[in-house]
Amino acid sequence: MSFFKKLKDSIASKAEAVTSVFKEGLSKTRSAIVEKVEELITRRKKIDEEFYEELEEILIGADVGVTTVMKLIDELRAEVKARKIEQAAELQPILSEKLVGLLKGGGDPGLNMSADGITVYLFVGVNGVGKTTTIGKLAHKFKSEGKNVLLAAGDTFRAGAIEQLEVWGQRVGVDVIKQQSGSDPAAVMFDAVQAAKQRQVDVLLCDTAGRLQNKTNLMEELNKIFRVIQRELPDAPHEVLLVLDATTGQNALSQAKLFGEKSGVTGLVLTKLDGTAKGGIVIAIRNELNLPVKLVGLGEKMGDLQEFDSEQFVHALFAGLIQQETAADDAEESR
C-alpha cells in the first residue's frame, strides 16, 4: 500500500465538513507548495543540483523556513543516495512523506480544559493579528457546544479594543466584562474571574494588551494578570495562546520565538491561513519551536476557526496527489 493510500485511510473517519474547511482554507498554500513541486518534477526529470536549488526556493518561498528546508533537503539527498534514485518523479512521494512527518511531529495536543470548574484562556499577541476575532470565534465555538462563556476585555490600552470585543460579544451572544479605557488590566481580570464564579461560567476568554513583544512592561502586565487569576483559580490559566498572523510568515515565527521565551505561551493560534500562500509557516513553527499549533483560522466565517489537526492539514495540502495516487493503487489492486 502506498504512502498516500495509508494517509487517506488514516483520516477516512474524519468529518468531511472539517476536511472541506481545511481544503478551502489552504488552497493558496497548496498552489505554492504542491503544484509548484509537481511542475518542477515534470519539467526537470533528473535530480541534480539545480533541481535541489529550485526545490529549496519553492519551500522557502512558502515560508517553510530556511532551517527546516535545509534539514529537509539534506534528508532528501541522503534518501536519493541510499535508494539510488535518479528520476525526479520517484522523489515526489518521499518529499511528501517527509513533509507529513514534519507536520505531524509531536502530535496534536488539543486545547487544555479544566477538569472541574472554570477554564481560563489568556490571549496574547501584537496588535492587528486577529486576536479579538479569534476570541469571538472561539466563544462562538464553545457556546455552540453548550458551554457558558464569558469574555474579559483586558486590552485596555488600544483605542477601540474594548468596543471591538463588545461587538463580538453581542454577535455571539456572550457577556463582556470591562472597565474604562486605560484601566488596570489585572483589575479587569479580577472582576472577570469573580463574575465567572458567580455566573457558574464554563469558559473565560481573556484579551490582553497587544504591545510590542520586546517591551518589559508587557511582561510585567502579564505577570500581574497571572497572579490575580491564580490567586482566585490556582490551576488557571489553562492556556496562554499566542495569536499570529500567518500572512506575515517569518515575522510570525520571530514573534513566536520572542513571546515564547518571555510569556509562558502554551500554544499558538495561526490566523488568516486562507489569505496566504505562506502556510508553510506551520511546518516551520512546528519544527523550530517547542510550541504546538492549537488553532488555525481558515476563513472569514464564524466556523472557520478550527482546532489544528495535522492529518486534516496534510490531507488538504496534498489532496490532489492523494486522489491521483489512491486511484492508481485501486487500479493496481483490481488487476
Any binding-site annotation on 125? yes
Q: Give exposure, 42-69, as e/b (b: 16+ Cβ within 10 Å).
A: eebeebeeebeebbbebbbbbbbbeebb
> Does 267 count as an annotated binding residue?
no
Backbone angles phi, psi at 240, to 5 degrees: -115, 105
What whole-number distance in Å separates Cα of residue 234 and Cα of residue 217? Answer: 24
- The annotation status of 127 as a binding-site residue, yes or no, is yes
In 3D space, the residue among 28, 62, 83 whose CA is nearest the CA of residue 273 turns out to be 28
296, containing H or E segment: strand 293-297
Query: How far is residue 222's CA from residue 85's CA, in Å, rounded to a whole number?
Result: 53
Q: Answer left, alpha or beta for residue 119, where phi above 0 means left and psi between -120 and 50 means alpha.
A: beta
User: In this structure, what C-alpha cell is assigned to residue 261?
Assistant: 521565551
129 annotated as a binding-site residue: yes
The answer to whether 274 is a known ligand-binding residue is: yes
320 belongs to an annotated ligand binding site: no
Query: Is 77 marked within a binding site?
Result: no
End-to-end Cα separation, the chain, in angstroms: 15
Is residue 130 marked as binding? yes
Our measurement of the distance from residue 47's CA atom to the centroid of its chain's CA atoms, rounded to an integer in Å, reads 33
Residue 299: C-alpha distances to residues 20, 25, 26, 97 (Å)? 12, 6, 10, 27
Whether residue 74 is annotated as binding a ligand: the answer is no
For residue 54, give the C-alpha cell: 529550485
249 is in an annotated binding site: no
CA distances, 269 to each of 41, 136, 159, 253 (Å): 33, 13, 23, 12
128 marked as part of a ligand binding site: yes
Residue 309, marked binder: no
- Cβ pair 29, 64 in contact under 8 A: no
Q: Detail the residues annotated as belonging to a binding site.
A: 125-132, 207-211, 271-274
Known binding positions for GTP: 125-132, 207-211, 271-274
